[in-house]
Amino acid sequence: MPAAKFDVLGLGNAIVDVIAPVDDDFVINAKLRKGAMQLVDEAAAQALYDAMGATTIVSGGSAANTIAGLASFGGKGAFIGKVRDDEAGRAFAHDIKATGVHFSTPASQDGPSTARCLVLVTPDGQRTMNTYLGACQNLTIADIDAADVAASQILYLEGYLWDPPAAKRAFVEAARIAHDAGRQVALTLSDVFCVDRYQQEFQDLIRDGVVDILFANESELHALYQTSDFASALAALRQENILAAVTRSEKGAVVVKGAVTYEVAAAPIGTLVDTTGAGDLFAAGFLTGYTRQQPLDRCARLGALAASEIIQHFGARPETGLAGLAEQSDYLHAL
Amino acid sequence: MPAAKFDVLGLGNAIVDVIAPVDDDFVINAKLRKGAMQLVDEAAAQALYDAMGATTIVSGGSAANTIAGLASFGGKGAFIGKVRDDEAGRAFAHDIKATGVHFSTPASQDGPSTARCLVLVTPDGQRTMNTYLGACQNLTIADIDAADVAASQILYLEGYLWDPPAAKRAFVEAARIAHDAGRQVALTLSDVFCVDRYQQEFQDLIRDGVVDILFANESELHALYQTSDFASALAALRQENILAAVTRSEKGAVVVKGAVTYEVAAAPIGTLVDTTGAGDLFAAGFLTGYTRQQPLDRCARLGALAASEIIQHFGARPETGLAGLAEQSDYLHAL
């Protein structure tokens, strides 16, 4: 197997986040599921935007956030995702390339505009996401750069790719290319309602050996195994022949590999501002350690450290260089 | 004089801020004047943007920030400024209206795009601004809503309006309308190099009675009176028959009204992140107090409190409701 050109290649929805603080009544009155991601059409997105306060706009997208986080740690990342050639699409491309990530998916020249996620942040720091998929619906197999996929240690896929119809086929094809090249495939389950929509398909992906590494939070794992009991979900997870990292918010994270379990505490924070991207950045830190052959408990601590940075400000892209943060971190070095 | 419909009407450049952290070398290598605002053409703006890291995009504009801050304190604000009908222009309009500010200046349907300010934030929290004026160059006398100006307690003007040629005439006309209606006119000197460009004209505005209330920082005051000595500048300022508030960063602020002087300390902060908007928000707090007939030292403390909020995060629009902050503030209530 040739040396990898990239540590991780991410495949995901290319989204610009439009963030505003709201009170709990706003979420209730808009009949939204607090803490979840829901898909909205363009008209609903416009109506919600009109009702929101002044916004902060930053690039987002789950896998894109993870790859940007990996690059912030000094890792070599690549990303495949579809924007349109409009102001938001150019901002997305600028931002991911500015972090040092390789990104060359051609922008759509017509059709729906670049995807937006309207992120409502309540005073408890919880985020409720409303995604207009826009140009992401144009991601197809033709956008998969086979040479780049084959040249990446890890292919990282987001469960949200199940939402735009053609992206699912691109996902499966990319995983086939990666495995043919002797690489590993990672999947994040993305969102509890996303798992509800595609529970059987995600289980099949895991059981058919398409997925080597799984990222999930506690709720997503419960949804995957249709249980409300964490121990039962973890027991089911152990039956799969994969490496899995399960995040549990302030309770830290659990890494499972066969019969072996590692538990790590959450990294300490000052003020919780916005939980958007906590899972994405956990995966960034974990994969940074993993692609450097670090012990699994250290991988999880790198994940927890990255998550702690992201939840202390608006947006899901690091504002502080994660490599520097890792160097200075008592939490990491206490290990 | 009829009761005022608005506490303050701001007239200024309508700008979207595009913010990225950079190191000091970036500012040096790009041959920029650290801490200042410089005008750039579209090509230079694009080249700088290409060199910047991932950005955070928020609405800005000096007077617009002030009016948004006033609204955050619960004040009744209005704003006049020119955007183009493009994505950035629609975001600007959304954001200022979302804060409860009256904004009805028609967007340009063609011509240059909505103005952008590329804000480079160094690790010391200092910001270096690079403004592409774009659609602001289309602001003319025709955009001045005479009824709104006449119905506002205070007309607030930014010195930056001297940059786009037609805006200067709109500025002078708006001041005439305000004074004819028995209202007061406030001016912020904006930036030390802006004062350098228009020093004589700004002095004339003050001496001709066009300006009733002046906002400046220490450097701008030095530039206005061509002195490097603060005491001399303050002595010159006392000779003008106006109310003036001079901000001095961590040294607090000085309010001068004829022979009377009030000095207030800076409000305490946690971590300095980005000084963008400190002066704008000082003016917001000061004018909130002033239009509510508060004592001048309390006006200055309201200003210092608003400035302390804005410098602890990226962007020059409040992320925390200033009315609530004022209620809870030990700094304010120690007065």
Task: Look at A98 and B52 and tell me if their CB atoms are within 8 Å.
Answer: yes
What 8-state DSSP symbol labels residue A92?
A: H
- Could you tell me the two tokens for B329? 């503030």
What is the full DSSP assignment across B52-104? S-S-EEEE--HHHHHHHHHHHTT--EEEE---BSSHHHHHHHHHHHHTT-EE-
Give domain status of residue A72, yes or no. Answer: yes
Give domain status of residue A326, yes or no. Answer: yes
Question: Which of A56, A122, A276 should one mutate to test binding to chain B, selecting the residue with the greatest count of B CBs within 10 A?
Answer: A56
Cα B4 to Cα B1: distance, rounded to the nearest angstrom:
8
Helix (H, G, I), strand (E, B) or coil at A239: helix
- Could you tell me the two tokens for A54? 């002044």
Q: What is the pLDDT of residue B165?
A: 85
Cα B34 to Cα B38: distance, rounded to the nearest angstrom:
10
Instruction: Decide: A188 and A159 in contact? Cβ < 8 Å.
Output: yes
Residue from B276, B297, B328 nearest B69 by CA: B276
- CA A271-A274-A279 angle, to 5 degrees, is 110
Give domain status of residue B282, yes or no. Answer: yes
Instruction: Decide: B227 and B192 in contact? Cβ < 8 Å.
Output: no
pLDDT tens digits along B55-93: 999 999 999 999 999 999 999 999 999 999 999 999 999
Do strands A115-121 and A127-132 pair parallel, antiparallel, or not at all (unpaired)?
A: antiparallel
Residue from A283, A290, A328, A327 nearest A306 by CA: A283
B317 touches chain A (CB under 8 A): yes
ipTM above 0.85, yes or no: yes
pLDDT in tens, chain B (335 residues): 778 999 999 999 999 999 999 999 999 999 999 999 999 999 999 999 999 999 999 999 999 999 999 999 999 999 999 999 999 999 999 999 999 999 999 999 999 999 999 999 999 999 999 999 999 999 999 999 999 999 999 999 999 999 998 999 999 999 999 999 999 999 999 999 999 999 999 999 999 999 999 999 999 999 999 999 999 999 999 999 899 999 999 999 999 998 899 999 999 998 899 999 999 999 999 999 999 999 999 999 999 999 999 999 999 999 889 999 999 999 998 75
Cα A297 to Cα A294: distance, rounded to the nearest angstrom:
8
Q: What CATH number is associated with residue A253?
A: 3.40.1190.20
Give domain status of residue B29, yes or no. Answer: no
Helix (H, G, I), strand (E, B) or coil at B173: helix
- Could you tell me the two tokens for A52? 């929101």
- Could you tell me the two tokens for A103? 């990104």
Do strands A243-247 and A213-217 pair parallel, antiparallel, or not at all (unpaired)?
A: parallel
Residue from B119, B202, B128, B189 nearest B160 by CA: B189
Q: Where in the sequence is the domain holding A200, given as residue range(s)?
A: 6-13+61-103+139-333
Task: Look at B57 and A54 and tell me if their CB atoms are within 8 Å.
Answer: no
Give domain status of residue A52, yes or no. Answer: no
Give domain status of residue A206, yes or no. Answer: yes
What 8-state DSSP symbol labels residue B145?
A: -
Q: What is the pLDDT of residue A165?
A: 85
- Could you tell me the two tokens for A18? 């439009």
Q: How far is A93 from chain B (nearest CA, A)?
A: 10
- Could you tell me the two tokens for B68? 């948004």
Cα A44 to Cα A310: distance, rounded to the nearest angstrom:
28
Task: Look at B317 and A54 and tell me if their CB atoms are within 8 Å.
Answer: yes
Phi, psi of A315 (to 5 degrees): 95, 160
Residue labelled with tokens 């913010």: B19
Residues 19-58 of B with CB under 8 A from A: 20-21, 49-50, 52-58
Mean pLDDT, residues A173-198 taken together: 97
Phi, psi of A171 (to 5 degrees): -60, -50
Instruction: Decide: B275 and B309 in contact? Cβ < 8 Å.
Output: no
Widest CA span in chain A: 55
B221's enclosing H/E stretch is helix B218-225
Task: Look at A53 and B98 and tell me if their CB atoms are within 8 Å.
Answer: yes
Residue labelled with tokens 């121990």: A231
pLDDT tens digits along A254-295: 999 988 999 999 999 988 999 999 999 999 999 999 999 999
List of chain A residues whose C-beta atoms are within 8 Å of the C-beta of residue B86: 87
Instruction: Decide: B314 and B271 in contact? Cβ < 8 Å.
Output: no
Question: Which of B319, B320, B325 should one mutate to test binding to chain A, selecting the residue with the greatest count of A CBs within 10 A?
Answer: B319
- Could you tell me the two tokens for B82? 């020119």
Q: Per-residue confidence at A104, pLDDT binned at 50, 70, 90?
A: very high
Residue labelled with tokens 């305000």: B178
List of chain B residues whose C-beta atoms are within 8 Å of the C-beta of residue A94: 49-50, 54-55
Give domain status of residue B126, yes or no. Answer: no
Cα B25 to Cα B123: distance, rounded to the nearest angstrom:
11
Residue from B179, B117, B172 nearest B140 by CA: B172
A313 touches chain B (CB under 8 A): yes
Task: Look at B54 and A94 and tell me if their CB atoms are within 8 Å.
Answer: yes
Cα B92 to Cα B114: distance, rounded to the nearest angstrom:
9
Picking from A54, A86, A94, the nearest residue to B95 by CB comes out as: A54
Instruction: Decide: A304 and A267 in contact? Cβ < 8 Å.
Output: yes
List of chain B residues whose C-beta atoms are within 8 Å of the C-beta of residue A59: 54
Do strands A260-264 and A253-257 pair parallel, antiparallel, or not at all (unpaired)?
A: antiparallel
Give domain status of residue A40, yes or no. Answer: no
Task: Look at A99 and B55 and tell me if their CB atoms are within 8 Å.
Answer: no
Question: Which of A19, A26, A50, A57 should one mutate to test binding to chain B, selecting the residue with the greatest count of B CBs within 10 A?
Answer: A57
Q: What is the pLDDT of residue B2?
A: 77
Does the pLDDT of residue A223 top 70, yes or no? yes
pLDDT tens digits along A115-161: 999 999 999 999 999 999 999 999 999 999 999 999 999 999 999 99
Question: Which of B87, B121, B271, B312 should one mutate to test binding to chain A, selecting the residue with the greatest count of A CBs within 10 A?
Answer: B87
Q: How many domains does chain A have?
A: 1
Which stretches within A181-277 are classed as H helix?
192-207, 218-225, 230-239
Does the pLDDT of residue A225 top 90, yes or no? yes
B68 touches chain A (CB under 8 A): yes
Task: Look at A57 and B56 and tell me if their CB atoms are within 8 Å.
Answer: yes
Residue from B66, B166, B53 nearest B119 by CA: B53
**Residue A141, Cβ density class (10 Å: 0-12 exposed, 13-18 middle, ≥19 buried):** middle
